[in-house]
Structure 1
Amino acid sequence: MSELNKTPSSSRLHIAIFGKRNMGKSTLINALTGQNLAIVSEYAGTTTDPVYKAMEILPIGPCVIIDTAGLDDLGDLGELRVKKSLEVLKKTDIALLTVTGEGFSDFDREIIKLLEEKNIPFITVINKKDIIPANSEFTEELKIKNIPYVAVSAQLKEEIHTLKELIIKYSPKEFEQPTIVGDLINPGESIVLVIPVDTGMPKGRLILPQVQTMRDILDNDGVFHVCKERELRWTLDKLKEKPKLVITDSQEFSKVSADTPDDILLTSFSILFARYKGDLMKMVKGAKALKNLKAGDKVLMAEACTHHAQPDDIGKVKIPRWIRQNIENDLTFDFCAGRDYPDNLSDYKLVIHCGGCTLNRKEMLSRIEVSSVQGVPVLNYGLCIATLHGILDRALKPFPEVYFQWLED
């Protein structure tokens, strides 16, 4: 199946499976998916690093199943594996804690504490019921503490359907992400999408935020027109009615702003994703921190994916160059990419993050929260570029609540 026909992993329900070694976590994944996706062995510690698999699980729908290393893994290497497993909590929508009928271990109680602290719903999966029946004291504890549970045999695929029903029941109701543009337009209104075709554009396809925005417009009964930046003025002249909104790639903000009449709202894909994936209100505050950078300050450039950097890469080259030209030359830029996001941000005055299209909303909000708790402002590429080009005021007008807060601050 073409990747364009699949639900992006970032938009799927993330189900993480935790538990000690040899609890049958990998067997449980195979039972849930109906496929032999995870390596199964009688030896403890077969799973070393978190393993991600995007799946369609009926009747749940599009999911990402995350298999983790045992919480009781031993030695220095085992400690690193457990740390990697716990990092999965940042993106977990619902957790399955896999145990046997003998009850919770100290390791299990520790992960329960973390799940409760982070308000992550979880289900206790009492596995191997065909070998170790659940004792009555354990099930009574679960009932008293109001912890949802089900006894299954992953090996024999018994009660797996019941587990799926519990996943549906206890998955967070707010899992569905907010609309990208649906609240900005009425049915029948049109939007112009400005999409440059340059060396950074994947060959033969559009990038994910552009595709998702198009789908969201269609879902909300809107109409969209697509053009390159040099064709925008011609496109607007040819339309019989003014579009409600123009959305541009952030790198073309200056030209598109100049070619878009003031009575047409303008923003960027990246700014739309700042609220779709994260918290636009908090990220806008990072724009003020950008303006206040001083000589010697350190800035972290954070990428969610690990794409091959182009010679004029937006995150590694262009934005640092623009900041040095327009704000302050004597700055230090550090870079991180993929799933590695620093826990300690105390050395930084600002985090500038990509749009986060490959992250699920839970993980993007987690990254924003990490920054907020440590008092380090964060903004994304689109907000940064709009600030540097002096058009952030205009780019925020489609979002009145954020726009007026920005003016007041």
Structure 2
Amino acid sequence: MSNLNKTPTANRLHIAIFGKRNMGKSTLINALTNQNIAIVSDFAGTTTDPVSKAMEILPIGPCVIIDTAGIDDVGELGNLRIQKSIDVIKKTDIALLVIDYNGFNNFDYKIMELLKENNTKFIVVVNKTDIQSISNEFKTDLNNYKYIELSAKNKTKINELKELIIKHSPKSFEQPSILGDLISPGDDIILVIPIDTGMPKGRLILPQVQTIRDILDNDGIIHISKERELRWTLENLKKKPKLVITDSQEFAKVSADTPDDILLTSFSILFARYKGDLFELVKGAKVLKNLKPNDKVLIAEACTHHAQPDDIGKVKIPRWIKQNIEPEIEFDFCSGRDYPNNLTNYKLVIHCGGCTLNRKEMLNRIEASTKNGVPIINYGLCIATIHGILDRALKPFEEVYLEWLDSE
């Protein structure tokens, strides 16, 4: 199947498998997927780094299986592997903690504690029942958890484990509709999509594609134009569109060309709600408007694309902030999974739309910021604030808009 036809990884249920070395984690992955995805060996520590595989598992549906290194790995390199395994928790929707008939030890309890701290549901999988049954004493301890006894090697009770995963997976792992609650069947929606150096050749970017699909799912009528053709598009529609959605980089021009009685927002602001917490992200606008000389700002990208000469995160946003808010701002940058654990040195975090992150990881980053007392805002909200059109860009989201007005 072409990658273009697959469910994006960020929209799949993320199932991570944790446990000590040689508990049969890789064997369990192969049993769950009915494929030889992971290397299996009797030698402890075969899996050295987290390995992700996006796939369809019936009857679960689209998911990502993440195999992690043993949480009891040893040595300096082993400690790095353990940390990478722990970092996986940030994006895990549901975890499988694999043990055997010997029961829990301190490593298992540590992982359970971390899973609870991150509000991550987990199932204890007692593996290797083909070798030995668990004792009655251990079974009493297990009754405090959701658990299942099975043999990954013999593929016994694998279907029952799948049923448990479905039953206990968080209902919120799949994001709400991008804009299904904002439109009605038959509404005309205009999408403004500029073609610039940052646009991948021959295709649209993921938020644009997902928004188009969501409009179709909700029986809306789609009109697409570049920013220069927006005014002509509006003049030639037979009825007023319900909503104009623009790339955030063209907010100023699109706002000027769109009549005030037509709702306007951006793909990035839609994704602030779809992937994260729009209420929380809007709070960062106040801090942005009041940045002072020598304040430090972190600009975070979820993906690791090659930066263009006019890159939105590394070039345009810093330039706009210096031109419109405060020239003496210090910027740091991070990308991919390298999101800092300590944010206390920053006055504000400006995050991309997070289209490559699953909802759990984006919410985790928002929570990490708020715990550190550092407001966070995303690109779309940031650009709307800089250009003085945040009020207008929030109007489609009535509850957030009213709360924002009350806070002003």
Interval of TM-score (by shorter of Structure 1 and Structure 2): over 0.9
Asked if 1:360 is matched to 2:358, the reply is: yes
Is the Cα–Cα contact under 8 Å of residues 152 and 159 in structure 1 kept in the other structure?
yes
Alignment partner, residue 160 of structure 2: 162
Give the corresponding residue for 2:148.
150
1:346 aligns with 2:359: no
* Partner SS, residue 196 of structure 2: coil
Residue number in structure 2 paired with 1:295: 293
Superposed counterparts of 1:10-409, under 5 Å:
10-143=10-143, 145=144, 147-409=145-407
Deviations 1:197-232 (A, max 9, x none): 111111111100011111111111211111111111
Aligned-pair CA distance for 1:158: 1.6
The 2-side partners of 1:190 and 1:54 are apart by: 35
SS in 1 for 2:239: coil
CA contact (8 A) 1:73 1:81 kept: yes
Per-residue deviation, 1:116: 2.1
Query: How far off is 1:151 after superposition?
Result: 1.5
For the residue of structure 1 that corresponds to 2:284, the secondary structure is helix
What amino acid is aligned across from residue 208 of structure 1 in structure 2? L
- Cα distance in 2, alignment partners of residues 119 and 278 from structure 1: 16
Distance 1:113 1:207 in 2: 38
Equivalent position amino acid for 2:150 in 1: V
Residue pair 2:31, 2:153 contacting (<8 A) in 1 also = yes
TM-score (norm 1): 0.98
Per-residue CA distance 1:341-360 (angstroms, 9 max, x = gap): 10100110000000000000
Instruction: Tell me by how many angstroms 1:177 deviates.
Output: 1.1
Partners of 1:323 and 1:142 lie apart in 2 by 55
User: Residues of 1 paired with 2:192 and 2:399: CA distance?
Assistant: 25
Could you tell me which amino acid in structure 1 is paired with residue 85 of structure 2? S
- How far residue 134 of structure 1 moved from its aligned partner, in angstroms, is 2.0
Residues 94 and 122, structure 2, Cα contact 8 Å, conserved in 1: yes
Q: In structure 1, what is the Cα distance between the partners aligned to 2:92 and 2:119?
A: 10
AA partner of residue 27 (structure 1): T
| SS across alignment from 1:175 | coil
* C-alpha separation in 2, matches of 1:9 and 1:106: 33
Partner Cα distance (2:355, 2:280) in 1: 18
Say whether the 8 Å CA contact 1:20–1:72 is kept in structure 2: yes
Structure 1 stretch 12-21 or stretch 152-161: which is displaced more? 152-161
Q: Supply the distance in 2 between the matched residues of 1:172 and 1:22 (Cα, whole angstroms).
A: 28
Report the CA distance between 1:132 and its aligned residue. 2.5
Per-residue CA deviation, residues 326-368 of structure 1 (Å, 9 max, x unaligned), is 1111111111100111010011000000000000000000000
Task: Tell me the amino acid that sits aligned with residue 91 of structure 1.
Answer: K
CA–CA separation in structure 1 for the residues paired with 2:328 and 2:172: 43
State the Cα distance separating 1:117 from its structure 2 match: 2.6
**Matched-pair contact (CA < 8 Å) for 2:281–2:378:** yes
User: In 1, distance between residues paired with 2:276 and 2:209?
Assistant: 19
CA distance in 2, matches of 1:277, 1:321: 26
What amino acid does structure 2 have at the position aligned with 1:111? I
Higher mean Cα deviation, 282-291 or 32-41?
Answer: 32-41
TM-score, normalisation: structure 2? 0.98
| Contact residue 102 and residue 132 of structure 1 kept, 8 A | no
Partners of 2:318 and 2:58 lie apart in 1 by 46
Alignment partners' CA distance in 1, 2:311 and 2:335: 13
2:162 match: secondary structure: helix
Give the SS at the match of 1:174: coil
The question of whether the paired residues in 2 share the 8 Å contact of 1:245 and 1:265 is answered with: yes
Per mean C-alpha deviation after superposition, the further-off stretch among 156-165 and 12-21 is 156-165
SS in 2 for 1:42: coil
CA distance in structure 1 between the aligned counterparts of 2:244 and 2:132, rounded to whole angstroms: 61
Question: For structure 1, which segment, 133-142 or 341-350, has the greater mean C-alpha deviation from structure 2 after superposition?
Answer: 133-142
For 2:86, the aligned partner's letter is L
Once residues 225 and 135 of structure 2 are traced to their aligned partners in structure 1, the CA distance between those partners, rounded to angstroms, is 65
SS for the counterpart of 2:172 is helix
Shift of 1:153: 1.4
- Mapped to 2, the partners of 1:360 and 1:156 lie a distance apart of 33
* Cα distance in 2 between the residues matched to 1:125 and 1:72: 17
Instruction: Tell me how far apart the structure 1 counterparts of residues 2 and 194 of structure 2 sit (CA, whole Å).
Output: 23
Alpha-carbon distance in 2 for matches of 1:23, 1:307? 37
| Deviation of 1:140 (Å) | 2.2
Paired residue type of 1:315: G
CA distance in 1, matches of 2:307, 2:219: 37
SS in 2 for 1:173: coil
Q: Distance in 1 between matches of 2:374 and 2:23?
A: 40
For the Cα contact (< 8 Å) 1:52–1:66, is it kept in 2? yes
Residue segments in structure 2 that go unaligned for 5+ positions in a row? none
Whichever residue aligns with residue 166 of structure 2, its letter is: I
Contact kept, 8 Å, 2:12 with 2:174, in 1: the verdict is no
Alpha carbons 1:352, 1:378 under 8 Å: kept: yes
| Number of residue pairs matched by the alignment | 407
Q: Deviations over 1:32-52 (max 9, x none)?
A: 111111121211111111111
State the distance in 2 between where 1:313 and 1:3 align.
Answer: 26
